[in-house]
């Protein structure tokens, strides 16, 4: 459920870029639909995950994925500091998933 929530959040954020500050109808509707779905599935994930862990994973992976979409789809560039920071986020997600006893698999 958490993975589904992350996907909806990333797609919704991509629509947010395309909505041009909510001036375009269909991307704006996409933002609302995706964010509602993201929070719904995050709520389902909270049945089995602690809120802090679930939100940290959701936020961390969302940041990394939307940054990748920004680079590939929207042709945005990242500097070295951004790449290092994103790498640290990925490392944090791996540490939480592999070593934390708070995460149920």
34-82 tens-digit pLDDT = 999 999 999 999 999 999 999 999 999 999 999 999 999 999 999 999 9
Please report the sign of the dihedral spanned by the C-alpha atoms of residue 17, residue 22, residue 23, residue 29: positive
Identify whether 43 is part of a domain.
yes
pTM reported for the whole predicted model: 0.89
Question: Number of folded domains in the chain?
Answer: 1
Identify whether 104 is part of a domain.
no
Q: Is the per-residue pLDDT at 92 higher than 90?
A: yes
Show the domain range for 81.
Answer: 2-99
Is residue 30 a contact partner of residue 11, using CB atoms and an 8 Å limit?
yes
Identify whether 81 is part of a domain.
yes
Identify whether 53 is part of a domain.
yes
Considering only CA atoms, which of 104, 93, 25 is closest in space to residue 59? Answer: 93
Identify whether 45 is part of a domain.
yes
Q: Average pLDDT of 84-90?
A: 97
């Amino acid at each position: 459920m958490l993975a589904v929530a992350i996907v909806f959040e990333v797609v919704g954020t991509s629509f947010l870029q395309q909505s041009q500050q909510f001036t375009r109808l269909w991307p704006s509707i996409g933002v609302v639909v995706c964010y509602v779905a993201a929070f719904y599935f995050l709520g389902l994930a909270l049945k089995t995950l602690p809120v802090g862990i679930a939100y940290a994973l959701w936020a961390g992976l969302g940041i990394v994925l939307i940054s990748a979409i920004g680079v590939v789809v929207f042709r945005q560039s990242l500097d070295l500091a951004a790449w290092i920071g994103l790498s640290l986020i990925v490392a944090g997600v791996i540490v939480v998933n592999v070593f934390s006893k708070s995460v149920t698999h």
